[in-house]
A and B are shown apart, each in its own frame.
Chain A
């Protein structure tokens, strides 16, 4: 469970980072940081997924597998943005969604909610860079 907390914290940091540059542009250095954070989150999710399967916790395994997939796609999108070397602007819709996700992190106290938060954050990151 502590690992899930760690993932939640890292994702919160990613979203805050994107949020902190809301009125300007995100540059390549920040994209590298986001890619590196997602690259660290991915093996943790893979560990949790496989562990949940070994423990026979199928429902959690299914959710975590979904998070793993989202994390892969988010990472692929950030990497694509890096090599196409473009700079992403933040639009108002993205900004609103970011604020919502950041607000939700405090209420994500139960395990199930934590995975939901992980999923929502990863989906947002993917959508942001797609």
Chain B
């Protein structure tokens, strides 16, 4: 009886051991795939960050007043004929007047450079994940190290979204200037007896109404641009948050769980680009709460926020410091 028990016990132990070996073998054989999955997520994060930064660039672009081409041509003609300061021997000057091109000698602005630096941080993070795929030994340790830059970049996306939401730029102001010029002209016509004799006052009022509609359309278009950009940044922050969670759990998760999570991350964009801005704001608050409930992300958020108040210029940027 006793002999039968120990035989059973031995068989059970052998069975457990063989199952463990099988699982370990299965897991280790999955490692390259797991790393590939991680790279895919990092690529998705990077892709979303690029889309978000592109939209940020757009809303902060300071454009010229979009004068209609017929009026522009008329003004150029008049200037060429009546501006005594034009030196026709200076063909660069003449070229600038004819093309109205003051952008020829334009180099990237300080702001554009700042955004490029930010993009470069994300490029570096992606590079790490790409290289990771070719490393077999010690990759788990490297994956763990990538958590910090991924978190930092996540927080930066959220802070940029908050900045835009709190202090939205006015990219459509040049169009408003154009309408204001027209309204100024219409008022002159309306109040001058000489000019209003030529134009029916009712017709002037109709034209004013037209300009009001155009102004309101510009307001709506601008609002949409800002909301879209904030949404893009929030999607990026959300993907970043999930990526950093994935990195945290990487060593303890099996391939199926990682694959499921990544599938969820890939589907994020479609259910997040809401047209309803109030839901975007709710989303921003939810995301902030999620980030605050993650101890490490919370520390990053606090660190970056405090930095914006107290750190001197000479100190290196947080993410550069971390990834460098």
Contacts and interface: CB of A to CB of B under 8 A. Distances in A.
B181 interface: yes
A39 interface: yes
B85 A59 contact: yes
Contact of A50 (B65, B113, B117): B65
A17 interface: no
Interface in B68-89: 75, 78-79, 82-83, 85
B313 A46 contact: no
B109 A73 contact: yes
A98 B117 CA distance: 31
The dominant DSSP class at the B interface is helix
A12 B190 CA distance: 35
Contacts of B307: 85
Interface residues of A, number: 39
B170 interface: yes
Q: Assign chain B's interface to a size class.
A: 35 or more
A47 B180 contact: yes
Interface string A53-76: 110101100100100010011011
Nearest to B81: A56
Interface string B313-324: 100010000000
A1 interface: no
Contacts of A50: 65, 67, 177-178, 181
A19 to B, nearest CB: 19
A33 to B, nearest CB: 10
Contacts of B181: 47, 50-51, 54
A123 B130 CA distance: 45
Given A76-B109, A86-B313, A87-B313, A58 B82 contact: yes
B110 A130 contact: yes
Contacts of B117: 84
Given A53-B79, A58-B83, A86-B311, 17 more contacts: A32-B167, A42-B173, A43-B180, A46-B173, A46-B174, A72-B62, A72-B109, A76-B62, A76-B112, A79-B110, A79-B169, A80-B109, A81-B110, A83-B115, A83-B118, A84-B117, A88-B313
Interface of B: 60, 62, 64-65, 67, 75, 78-79, 82-83, 85, 102, 109-115, 117-118, 160, 163, 167, 169-170, 173-174, 176-178, 180-181, 184, 304, 307-313, 317
